[in-house]
Amino acid sequence: MRWLGHLLVWTVAFLVALPFIWMAYAAFIPPEAVFSGNIFGQLGFSLANFEVLGREGFWEGFWGRLLFSVLLTGSVTLLQLTTGFLAAYALKEGARLLPFFLVLLAIPVELLLVPLYGLLVGLKILDTIWALVLPFAASPFIVYLLFQGMRTVPEELLEAARIDGAGHRVLLTHILLPLLRPQLIAAGVLAFAAHWNLVLYPRIVAGSKELKTVQTWITDLQRQNPADWGPLSAAALAATLPLVIIYLLYERRIVETFEEGLKG
Amino acid sequence: MGRNNAFWFALPAVASLGLFLLYPFLDVLRFSTWDWSGLSEPRVVGLENYRDILRDPDFYNSLRITLVFGVMTLVPFVVLSILLALALDGQPYERPIKALLFLPGLVTLGGAAVAWYTLFSPEYGALASLIPVPRWDQSPFWALVLIMLFTIWRHIGYGVLVVSARLKAIPKTLLEAAAVDGATPAQSFRFITLPLLRPAITFLVVIGTVLTLQGYTAVFLLTRGGPFGGTEVLGYYLYKTGFEAGRLGYAAALTVIILLLTLAFALAQARLLREEK
């Protein structure tokens, strides 16, 4: 029985890893190998696929879109962490808002494309950068995660600081911020991944060239040249690598945060 | 001092969520009574959109596809989550494998779709040059299988984590006692582990149903509803009617119907799985 378990685990692990291995391999395939159809026959290493990506000029080409997306999603993440951290503090201090956030947690954001579109039209921010930022200024999930973390901070610690004359600002920046660093990192990675992986939403509310996210850019390229997979894989790899690296750095924290969330 | 005014720290989050999450969620009811393309002046049509949906053969077709897809995906997803969690439990490689399984859920979706597409495309995919790949660009069934595999690939790490967290909460002494009383491993799994895993399984089934009823991203990235509309799940049908055909009022009514369906399914499942105890 035991060897069956090992077999299952390693088979699944291989299948899960396969698309990643392939992505890394295909990104460096010499273009000639793709056109001749001899993909695995001749081993070759080439950076040609990455050079192709810069062809459209910097800002509207792949690298510009990647930079734009990193900055955009990075700002949204910081914004979500800030609003979430403050809200979690309010909850910790006795604001009776937890039910409000828990109800919001159950609303499926993915399904709200139509009314959100209507709202953005009404606010006249359709096709502006604000359409990609403002609706994500806060996330009930992040509030919940950070509140879970804040619950573990002993009340006596805050009470002692208060007696010493510490106000909200000192409590937040000097005590809670360092104590919650692990939770902030885990929540930050998850918030980053969630915003980064919006696929249809940015396409609908911000379709113009200078607002295209890297997701949209890759999906468009796949539409136009589905057979040209050297450059496609290079773009996929370059767009995926930042997330993989961040994840590997904080993997333990993220998995643990999820496990804690499941217990709560 | 200080305790009461802490409430104000929640204001940014509350205001933002109220405006961009709660308000649209309620506002969808108003849009659903409009005939509106997004550009035109809206025209109030009452419940006409709902009546049209209930007469729309494409809606029923899409509902059927969604249900088939849901069953096709959920059963292997839950079974695989349980088997993997059991096989991983206590192994030296538990941590790194869990980390690997979790990775697909976080990486760039568009990039992942590209990797899948170039790997599994039956015409010019890499795998097709080694072994025959089913023509999922022509057969709706195989297209659904592809979407299913992609969906499981993305979420299996989470599934394993859910089961595994529950598994670790089962006291080891319980299983030891059963072994002393002469229970075979199969028996103690059937009569001890499985019943205790029930909350985790219920959770996975309900969450999985919600996700399959509402999901459309994988379809958009891999098949765009094709071939022959064979993978047009409800979420994708919503996107298509709303933003490709420009019928936003109709799409809003569809949103309401999908939400009601989700609620009904989730409640029914939660009740069913709980009562079996």
d(CA B141, CA B230): 7
DSSP state string for A14-82: HHHHHHHHHHHHHHT--HHHHHHT-TTTS-----HHHHHHTTT-TTTSHHHHHHHHHHHHHHHHHHHHH
DSSP-based three-state secondary structure for B35:
strand
Above 90 in pLDDT, residue A108?
no
- Provide Rg for chain A, Cα atoms: 23
Question: Within 13 Å, how many C-alpha atoms sit on residue A258's CB side?
Answer: 21
Which percentage of chain B shows pLDDT scores above 70? 97
C-beta atoms of A13 and B100 within 8 A: yes
β-sheet bridge partners, residue B22: none
Above 90 in pLDDT, residue A231?
no
For chain A positions 193-252, those within 8 Å of chain B (CB to CB) are 193, 196-197, 199-200, 204, 214-216, 218-219, 222, 226-227, 229, 232-233, 235-237, 239-240, 243-244, 247-248, 251-252
Domain ranges within chain A, ordered by starting residue: 1-46, 59-263
How buried is residue A179: exposed, middle or buried, by Cβ count under 10 Å (0-12/13-18/19+)?
A: middle
Tell me, what's the pLDDT at A247?
87
Above 60 in pLDDT, residue B269?
yes
Above 70 in pLDDT, residue A35?
no
Cα dihedral A120, A123, A128, A132 in deg (nearest 10): -50
CA nearest neighbour of A69 among A231, A187, A226, A199 = A199
The conformation of residue B42, written as its DSSP 8-state character, comes to: P
Tell me, what's the pLDDT at B277?
47
C-beta atoms of B108 and A9 within 8 A: no
d(CA A147, CA A244): 27
- CATH of region A59-263: 1.10.3720.10
Q: Give chain A's end-to-end CA distance (angstroms, integer).
A: 34
Domains, chain B, in order of start with CATH, read 44-275 (1.10.3720.10)
At residue B2 the predicted structure's pLDDT band, cuts being 50, 70 and 90, is very low
Tell me, what's the pLDDT at A142?
93
Give the Cβ contact number of residue A234 at 10 Å. 25
Looking at residues B171-177, what average pLDDT do you find? 85
When CB atoms are compared, the residue of B105, B115, B220 closest to A19 is: B115
How many residue pairs from chains A and B have C-beta atoms closer than 8 A?
275
Looking at residues A130-151, what average pLDDT do you find? 92
Q: Which residue of A has its CA nearest to B20?
A: A135
Looking at residues B166-182, what average pLDDT do you find? 86
Higher pLDDT, A2 or A189: A189
Q: Which residue of A has its CA nearest to B214?
A: A111
Cα torsion A203, A205, A209, A211: sign: negative
Angle in degrees, 0-180, between the axes of helices A2-27 and B57-88, rounded to the nearest 10 = 120
Residue B44 phi, psi dihedral angles, 5° rounding: -75, 125
Write b or e for each residue in A130-150: b if 16 or more Cβ atoms lie within 10 A of its Cβ, otherwise e: bbbbbbbbbbbbbbbbbbbbb
Asked if ipTM goes beyond 0.90, one says no
* Host H or E run for residue A250: helix A229-263
With beta carbons less than 8 A apart as the criterion, state whether A107 and B25 touch.
Answer: yes
Cα dihedral B42, B43, B46, B49 in deg (nearest 10): -70
Higher pLDDT, B3 or B86: B86
* List of chain A residues whose C-beta atoms are within 8 Å of the C-beta of residue B38: 117-118, 121
pTM of the model: 0.90
At residue B1 the predicted structure's pLDDT band, cuts being 50, 70 and 90, is very low
Q: Which residue of B has its CA nearest to A69?
A: B108
Task: Among A183-197, A248-262, B103-117, name the one with the lowest average pLDDT.
Answer: A248-262
Cα torsion B120, B126, B130, B135: sign: positive
Cα dihedral A114, A120, A123, A128 in deg (nearest 10): -170
Q: Which residue of B has its CA nearest to A255?
A: B99
CA nearest neighbour of B81 among B150, B8, B160 = B160
* Host H or E run for residue B34: strand B34-35
CA nearest neighbour of B205 among B64, B59, B102, B82 = B82
Tell me, what's the pLDDT at A39?
64
At residue A42 the predicted structure's pLDDT band, cuts being 50, 70 and 90, is low
At residue A166 the predicted structure's pLDDT band, cuts being 50, 70 and 90, is confident
Average pLDDT score, chain B? 88
Above 80 in pLDDT, residue B230?
yes
C-beta atoms of B114 and A232 within 8 A: yes
d(CA A84, CA A71): 20
Question: Within 13 Å, how many C-alpha atoms sit on residue B215's CB side?
Answer: 24
With beta carbons less than 8 A apart as the criterion, state whether A235 and A221 touch.
Answer: yes
Higher pLDDT, A257 or B120: B120
Looking at residues B17-33, what average pLDDT do you find? 91
The conformation of residue B233, written as its DSSP 8-state character, comes to: -
Cα dihedral B225, B231, B233, B237 in deg (nearest 10): 30
With beta carbons less than 8 A apart as the criterion, state whether B90 and A219 touch.
Answer: no
The angle subtended at Cα A228 by Cα A48 and Cα A36, nearest 5°, is 80
Tell me, what's the pLDDT at B212?
83
Write b or e for each residue in B88-124: b if 16 or more Cβ atoms lie within 10 A of its Cβ, otherwise e: beeeeebeebbbbbbbbbbbbbbbbbbbbbbbbbbeb
At residue B275 the predicted structure's pLDDT band, cuts being 50, 70 and 90, is low
C-beta atoms of B108 and A17 within 8 A: no
Q: Which residue of B has its CA nearest to A139?
A: B17
Tell me, what's the pLDDT at B276?
57
DSSP-based three-state secondary structure for B44:
strand
> Would an 8 Å CB–CB cutoff place A12 in contact with chain B?
yes
Residue A3's identity, in one-letter code, is: W
* Contact partners, residue B87, CB within 8 Å, separation at least 6: A4, A5, A6, A8, A9
d(CA B84, CA B100): 13
> Would an 8 Å CB–CB cutoff place A168 in contact with chain B?
yes
* List of chain B residues whose C-beta atoms are within 8 Å of the C-beta of residue A222: 110, 113-114, 117
Alpha-helix residue ranges (DSSP H) falling in chain B: 11-17, 23-31, 48-54, 57-88, 94-102, 109-120, 140-168, 172-180, 185-188, 194-214, 217-222, 234-239, 248-275
C-beta atoms of B215 and A110 within 8 A: yes
Peptide bond into B227 cis (omega under 30): yes
Which residue in the block uniquely carries the two structure tokens 């993915």?
A110
Q: What is the pLDDT of residues B182-223, one digit of tens each?
A: 888 888 888 888 888 888 898 899 888 888 887 788 899 888
β-sheet bridge partners, residue A84: none
d(CA A48, CA A128): 34
